[in-house]
Amino acid sequence: MVNFNNNIFMNNKLLLIITAIILFITELSSQNTYDNLPQKFTFNQAYIFNYSNSVIPEGEYGNEGEIMIYYNEKTNCWLFTEQCYGGAYSDVQWVLGMPNGVYLAAITDEMGQKNLLADTINFSGKIAERLKDIGTFEETHKNTGVSKLFGKDPMGFPLYSAFQHSIINPKSRDVSEQFITNSRVMMNSIYFFNERKQKIKLPVKFPTDIPMGMVVLQDHTRTIDGELHFELKEVAVVNYKIDLNEFR
């Protein structure tokens, strides 16, 4: 369960947790192949987001809907299935996103041959590049003081408390408000999913300029073409498993 924290600045306990996560990422990064990974992965949570995009015509895929992404809170690994990228990619069984930036896609070709395809994104490098282009987080994200609760645990208590931020980007005419909080949950695998050089995409435009240790739970952006919105609806308790041996 995510620690309830109204302070957007990192406390000492959170710093220790994030340090441990970074050490875990370093260990994963030292692996040159996915052959060294566990054979099986279990996901005990599912993050469910609502989204809408008025740029997409009403009735078409991507205009509005719900996506569900499986999560393991111990390893910070995410699992993407057709429940988040739709059923148009029947050859892709799932995509596993790991905190070191490695994505594994389980593919079944037209001949029934199963394979794992890997690609990697340097999360920290991408974030640094983005912030260098638009400015630091403190320069571009202004806390309005408005707070909001998100998600519920099995007992019905909120999982997150986040503060609203107005986004200031002099290089863009877009107007955005985001609810952001500190968290040991690392959503970089979600945020950078569409940055991969693969055909499969999420219907949601997630931010790619959020520093490590922070998450965006709601975003509303107005552009010259239309409005985009996503919001964390709930975090469900699940027991979803995959076996890499099926695709090796």
Q: What is the residue extent of each domain of the chain?
A: 12-247
Position 3 scores a pLDDT of 45
**Separation between Cα atoms, residue 200 and residue 142, nearest integer Å:** 33
Q: Which of 154, 180, 178 is nearest to 10 (CA)?
A: 180
pLDDT at residue 168, as a whole number: 84
Q: Where are the alpha helices (DSSP H) in 32-172?
A: 82-85, 123-134, 137-140
Q: What is the Cα–Cα distance from 203 to 65, expressed in whole angstroms?
A: 9
Tell me which residue of 191, 208, 185, 21 sits closest to 103, measured CA to CA.
191
Per the document, the length of the chain is 248
The residue ranges of the chain whose pLDDT is under 50 are 1-12, 15-16, 18-33
Contact status, residue 232 vs residue 149, Cβ threshold 8 Å: no
Q: How many helices (H) and strands (E) does the chain have?
A: 5, 11
What is the reported pLDDT for 174?
A: 86
For residue 186, the tally of other CB atoms under 10 A from its CB is: 25
Other CB atoms within 10 Å distance of the CB of residue 79: 25
87: Cβ–Cβ under 8 A, 6 or more apart, which residues? none
Single out the residue of 40, 28, 1 nearest to residue 185, CA to CA. Answer: 1
Q: What is the pLDDT of residue 35?
A: 60
- In the prediction, which pLDDT does 151 show? 82
Order of all β-strands in the sheet with 214-222: 114-120, 102-108, 92-97, 77-80, 64-72, 40-53, 227-243, 214-222, 175-182, 158-167, 141-152
